[in-house]
Amino acid sequence: MPHIKNPTRTHSSEIARIAAERQPPPRILGDGRARVAIESVTPTVPGGPFAVKRIVGETVRVEADIFADGHDMISAVVRHRQVDAGNWAEVRMTPLVNDRWSAEFSVLTEGSHEFVVQAWIDHFATWRRDMVRRAEVSQDLSTEFLIGAALIDHAIADSPGDHTDLRRFADRLKRRSDDDRIEVALDDRLAALMAQADPRRFATQSATPTRIWVDRERARFSTWYELFPRSTGADESMHGTLRDVIGRLDAIANMGVDVLYFPPIHPIGTKFRKGKNNALKAGPNDVGSPWAIGGPEGGHDAIHPELGTVEDFEALVSAAHARGIEIALDFALQCSPDHPYVKQHPEWFKHRPDGSIQYAENPPKKYQDIYPFEFECDDWRSLWDELLRVVLLWVDRGVRIFRVDNPHTKPFALWEWLIAEVKSRDSGVLFLAEAFTRPKVMNRLAKLGFTQSYTYFAWRNGPWDLREYFTELTTTSAVDYFRPNAWPNTPDILTDYLQHGGRSAFIVRAALASTLCASWGLYGPAFELMERTPAKPGSEEYLDSEKYQIRAWDLDRPDSLAPLIRTLNLARRENPALQQDRTLKFHHCGNPAVVAYSKTAGDNIIVVVANTDPHNMQWSDVHLDLPALGIAENAPYQMHDLLTGVRYRWTGRTNVVGLDPATLPVHVFRVRLHQ
């Protein structure tokens, strides 16, 4: 009975306190004079006390329903700070409509920030509003002036500082001989001074601060390239090395890549090693899958000897860095039967009644080359600590981006803890979740701390699918926690669309990924060389997949898409609109095979129009929502195609495009209003 090791005696006694849905504490009767209610504070991440995500320099627009009994005036502020590192700063909220209030502030430093909303009855503002109304009719206001003076006197008594000016106002309001008292009462300077000195009695505050995690810019805007380092040798008989990768860096940088990601670079197990094309038995020269991590040479902290040494790795990191490229590593929590952990820490694995260790399964399929960790083991804390040690070791070696393999098959609590631990040491470390699973699971991983997430992009090929999916990602609360990273292919995903769509399919998918998402990536050189033969019909696996064998690629092929990828990435670098996802907006096309969307950043406007039919020329009218783009209804505007350099003149909402798969099936327009 291996996997329930420490049974409790009492039925349902072990209700763990990591409750997923943490509801607020029960009401405690406080001061009954706190009259302001605060509800529906946004931004917020549904489902828990999770942090909203932002990038250094970005704005946080806070909104809340704020209201009180009666008709008194309310004042409200947002208070915000970097957690444990500074005083609260404050910004006044202003009412919008229907009791909704808002305020904005910017987050200027990396790391954990927080904000609260505070609101109170503003008695002076109420008095001032009423004085305006009273002044409109003839009334004896003597007593009202004294009430105002008393409000000032109490503010002076309640708040520190020099109140000379306030005192002067109060004195004038008390002076019965003064004919100008109504002007004094309504003096803007008095209102401003009182806003400062308001004692804020009986204020209400959102009880727990909303957290904001602030990342460096690459969390939002990144261009990934996945490469098997062992496939960088001269031919398929040569095991490529980290030094070989250094030789490829210029070409990779030239494509506009800024994150170079490697599948696991650790020693590979030999027991039950898979052969070429996932054969059950490996031949004597088969190199095995990099995800079968661990051998006599070491585990997750070691480098496969045929790839090189730690010094080689550090040299590669430096060389990449010199070209504006960061190295991202895979973090795959599984072991080959030869991993050192298996002997050193058998308690981290599940044991079968026959004494063997439980291999991975998807019954009836068995994956005997892989041992998963048993995260329900008694020693889970030591396992977690070791995993943290491994990540921090690679951080020490210069890695600040991790692509996490199948995080949805490991406990949520592990990731929430591990990511927080790593970021508490280096707030600039980023994590990409490779979870292709159900929506709520993917969202949960993003909520609990993953910086970026793989998406369903690879399988969203038609205009309707693209519109539905990316509208959801960019206009719901997901935009505050789920940062999509769009990949047209991966070593596991060669879609039907790419298999059968020819060159046009690859072009369209690269253009869509790189313009729909501020972060995108591709698995190369398979992508730019349009590798598209599946392992078997109906499979999304590559034939002769690099997962199981070394490949040599002819990077100089004249049909390579590398120049297109470079052009797309240059457009991304030069256009802030493409460096974020919040302004994505779809526009109507009459032809259902054609998709059109825009992104804007200030006056930088990008419009993309793509033909998703890889086989046929398609014409479509494109109906742009001109007001949303800030374009006048009747003035002509220039559509500058960043892929070809051609400039078109458009007028009005509706224009027509023709897109031919045989040439270039997509426009990436920069809209130029002042020609």
- Token reading at 168: 């002067």
Does position 359 bind its own copies by CB under 8 A? no
Catalytic residue among 226, 405, 480, 581: 405
Q: Which residues pair with 226 in a beta bridge?
A: 261, 523
* Residue 81: HSE in the Cβ half-sphere, 13 Å Cα cutoff: 10
18 closest CA partner among 420, 445, 450, 411: 411
CA-CA distance, 447 to 421, in Å (whole number)?
16
Q: Is 234 in the site for its own copies (CB under 8 A)?
A: no
Q: Using CA atoms, how far apart are residues 334 and 196, in angstroms rounded to an integer?
A: 59
> Residues in the chain, how many?
675
| Nearer residue to its own copies within complex by CB, 365 or 536 | 365
- Considering beta carbons, is residue 69 or 556 the nearer one to its own copies? 69
Q: Which of residues 19-58 bind its own copies (CB under 8 A)?
A: 19-41, 46-49
Residues numbered 298 to 357 that lie near its own copies (CB under 8 A) are 352-354, 356
* Contact residue for its own copies among 171, 195, 199, 277 (CB under 8 A): 199
Per CB under 8 A, does 99 bind its own copies?
yes
Contact 301, 393 (CB under 8 A): yes
CB 507 within 8 A of CB 545: no
Q: Which of 206, 455, 489, 611 binds its own copies (CB under 8 A)?
A: 206
Contacts 24+ apart (CB under 8 A), 529-536: 529/553, 529/554, 529/555, 529/557, 529/560, 529/561, 530/502, 530/503, 530/506, 530/559, 530/561, 531/494, 532/494, 532/498, 532/499, 533/499, 534/494, 534/499, 535/277, 535/278
Task: Say whether residue 210 binds its own copies (CB under 8 A).
Answer: yes
Residue 286 bears catalytic tag: no
The one segment of 55-63, 65-73, 314-322, 665-673 that binds its own copies by CB under 8 A: 65-73
Q: Among 10-18, 275-283, 484-492, 546-554, which window interacts with its own copies (CB under 8 A)?
A: 10-18
Q: Which of 64, 242, 257, 594 binds its own copies (CB under 8 A)?
A: 64
Task: Give min distance, CB of 380 to its own copies, in A.
Answer: 5
Q: Which of 87, 94, 160, 176 touches its own copies (CB under 8 A)?
A: 160
- Per-residue mark of binding to its own copies, 523-562 (x: CB under 8 A): ----------------------------------------
What type of residue sits at position 212? Answer: I
**Dihedral angle sign, alpha carbons of residues 424, 425, 431, 433:** negative
Q: Which of 59, 139, 476, 651 binds its own copies (CB under 8 A)?
A: 139
Q: Which stretch binds its own copies (CB under 8 A): 63-71, 497-505, 547-555, 647-655?
A: 63-71
Q: Which residues contact 537 (CB under 8 A, 6 or more apart)?
A: none
Q: Is 417 in the site for its own copies (CB under 8 A)?
A: yes
Count of Cβ atoms closer than 10 Å to residue 503 Cβ: 16
Sites for its own copies among residues 636-665 (CB under 8 A): none
Which listed residue (434, 480, 528, 613) is catalytic? 434
Which listed residue (194, 252, 335, 414) binds its own copies by CB under 8 A?
414
DSSP state of 493: B
- Asked if 101 contacts 122 with a C-beta cutoff of 8 angstroms, the reply is no
Which of 84, 87, 94, 143 is in the footprint of its own copies by CB under 8 A? 143
Regarding 411 and contact with its own copies (CB under 8 A), the answer is yes
Shortest distance in whole angstroms from residue 664 CB to its own copies? 39
Catalytic annotation on 528? no
Residues 155 and 166: beta-carbon distance below 8 Å: yes
Catalytic residue numbers read 405, 434
